[in-house]
Amino acid sequence: MSPLKVAVVGASGKVGRLLTDKLKASSSFSTPLAIVRTQDQVDYFKNEVGVNASLTDIENASVNEIADAIRGCDAVVFSAGAGGKAMERIFTVDLDGCIKVVEACEKVGIKRFVLVSALKAENRDFWCNIKGLREYYIAKRSADREVRNSELDYTILQPGSLELSRGTGLLQPIDRLEEKASVNYSINREDVASFIVQSLLHPDVTVKKTISLVNGDEPIEKFIQSL
Ligand SMILES: NC(=O)c1ccc[n+]([C@@H]2O[C@H](COP(=O)([O-])OP(=O)(O)OC[C@H]3O[C@@H](n4cnc5c(N)ncnc54)[C@H](OP(=O)(O)O)[C@@H]3O)[C@@H](O)[C@H]2O)c1
């Protein structure tokens, strides 16, 4: 397989940044493209990180402009987000931003798409009473549904509560997820980034799947083969 060129939407975010480094370091991928929303971020990625970067604010760009930015890539990872408290931007970034990127992929013929969503987004009973996060989950659930209804070879990753500690390389088997309720289904961002890389390398077991990601006791390589 020739090295995959991946566009990372939200590359300047905490998961996006870790992912960009992993893609850059791997010989299975060519230099990734960071999709970011300020000129400072473009300069940082080009000069400090050493990857390509495109100034594309997904909130305000048209589908055609996003399509122009990602044209020529083999896959797109969407890890952008407005943050749970930026209520008015949840719908323009996490929901409509995601939908526009999906439409842009369809326009330029990029089939492979990985979305970083949120754990149990489809389960209203889980989130409708979490104070302050209802709108966030409505946006995440709706974005997931748009992705599932698209023509793309998608993988929807649903991490639990994101932590910044070093990756463990270990995930919780799906059938034992509830053992992790007491720790808020937490997962280190580095493990999310590692799993995105594995998803891109193993479309055979990840395409058209929605996968819950929580730290646990199973090595990522074994976890992915059990999907
Ligand atoms: N926090 C949690 O516990 C949790 C749990 C499950 C899932 N998630 C989801 O996981 C994903 C990644 O999380 P994270 O911690 O890496 O998030 P993050 O650090 O907040 O990164 C999100 C990135 O999206 C970028 N972005 C926002 N608006 C944009 C726009 N209009 N155009 C282009 N980029 C834009 C942000 O850019 P700026 O840097 O310029 O703001 C930021 O770099 C998010 O979608 C989040 O909702 C989070």
For the chain, the structural domain boundaries read 6-225
**Superfamily of domain 6-225 in the CATH hierarchy:** NAD(P)-binding Rossmann-like Domain (3.40.50.720)
Q: Please name the residue whose Cα sits nearest to atom 44 of ligand 1.
A: 81
Which residue type occupies 88?
Answer: E
CA distance 33 to 23: 10
91 CA from centroid of ligand 1 (Å): 13
* Helix, strand or coil, per DSSP, at residue 101: helix
Strand partners, 165: none
Q: Is the pLDDT assigned to residue 99 strictly greater than 70? A: yes
CA 103 to centroid of ligand 1, rounded, Å: 20
3-state SS, residue 203: helix
Residues 107-150 pLDDT 10s: 999 999 999 999 999 999 999 998 889 999 999 999 999 999 99
Q: Which residues line ligand 1 (CB under 6 A)?
A: 10, 12-16, 37-38, 57-59, 79-83, 93-94, 97, 116, 118, 159, 161-162
pLDDT digits (tens, 9 = 90+) for 166-206: 999 999 999 999 999 999 999 999 999 999 999 999 999 99
- Is 136 a residue of the active site? yes
